[in-house]
Structures are given as C-alpha cells and as structure tokens.
Amino acid sequence: MTQPLTERPRVPIITVGLRPHPTSPDAEAPWQGPVGRLLATMFALPEGGAVFEFRLEESRPAQLAIPAPATPGPADELWKHTCFEVFLGVPGEAGYREYNFSPSGQWAVYGFRAWRERIEDYIPAAKPEVLFDQTDDGLVLEARVPAELLPAVPAGSDLQVSLAAVVERKDGMLEYWALRHAAAQPDFHARDTFVLTLATTTQKAA
C-alpha cells in the first residue's frame, strides 16, 4: 500500500470513500473492476492553503490508463483521462472553483460564477503542487493548494467541498467516482454534491 507523500500535520483530517456513478462500468460490483477502493483525504494547512489526497487501494493499476509524466503546469481537458478533482464553494454563494489534478503532474483551476457558467478570464493566482506515486496494487496523488488558490473568504471560514475522480481504463471506458451522485448522468458540478466542509486556517504561521 502506498504511504502518504508528506507528513501529516496535527490538524483535523477528513477521509472519505468515493463511489462510482451508477453509469460507470462495474458500478454494481466495483470490486470486480480495476478500482478496488478509492479514498479521498483533505485538510487545511496551518500556514494556509489545503492538501487533497486521492488514494486507490487493493486495485489493479495495470488495467488503468495513467497519464505519463509531463512538465508540471496548467493544461486543459485533463478530465478526459484519469484525473482527480476538487470543487470548492462558499456557503450562500453560487460561484465556485474547480481544480483538476493529473498523475502527469499537470493541473487546472477554473472559476465559475454559477453552475457550469465559467469565468473565461479567470487566472489562477498561484500554482498547486502535484505529487504522484504508484505501486502494484494502488496509487496515490497528493495536491497541495496554496491559500491564494482557495476562494477568498475571511480566515476561519468554512468552504463547501466536493471530491471526485475520473478513472480511465485501458479499454477506453471511463469511471466517475464521487462521494455523492445527484443526477442520472455524472455531474461533479452539481452544488448539492458539495457535502463536505473544509474549515480554513484561522491564522497563518509566522
């Protein structure tokens, strides 16, 4: 089993199990497919920012299409292949942000003013750091998101969170995993799937 890529700070940590959308291959018997268990972990960093980790355990990575390493940096349409996603919103506000993290090391951050209404001129104020490791029976991706990339809220405010993943199999089929699915077709943007809460740090370390 893969180990955490960085040491965990003494802060509240949330880990949840994601499940496949009913339209995904092997959704009724996920253990028979290449993904055995998909866990997502998140926590706020004491110095500001947050960490999001996605972990496949008891799985068959050899049956998955994993993007090859690439020069770290922004890239579009990462969600067309194996990609791990985070959605953050402010309670009471329609806008939200979408974060895509690829095993290749590439990433994307998008701003939305409302459901799927993308802010075309949104420019990320900082860069996340994406770390990836793979073993015979699993893989782990960790994304460190600096405070400048989080929605602008007062220190100590809660953010609404959705954690999700697109998993591409070598046969070309896509699996859609999330903590909650609210529509007949996969829709990670659905606001009623933002069911987790991330409390931002109350003060930054000196």
Q: What is the mean pLDDT of residues 121-138?
A: 94
CB 37 within 8 A of CB 56: yes
Identify the band that residue 159 occupies on the pLDDT scale cut at 50, 70 and 90: very high
Identify the band that residue 202 occupies on the pLDDT scale cut at 50, 70 and 90: low
State yes or no: pLDDT of 186 exceeds 70. yes
User: pTM value?
Assistant: 0.91
Q: What is the mean pLDDT of residues 119-123?
A: 94
| pLDDT tens, position by position, 5-64 | 666 767 778 999 999 999 988 777 767 789 999 999 999 988 889 999 999 999 999 999
Identify the band that residue 1 occupies on the pLDDT scale cut at 50, 70 and 90: very low
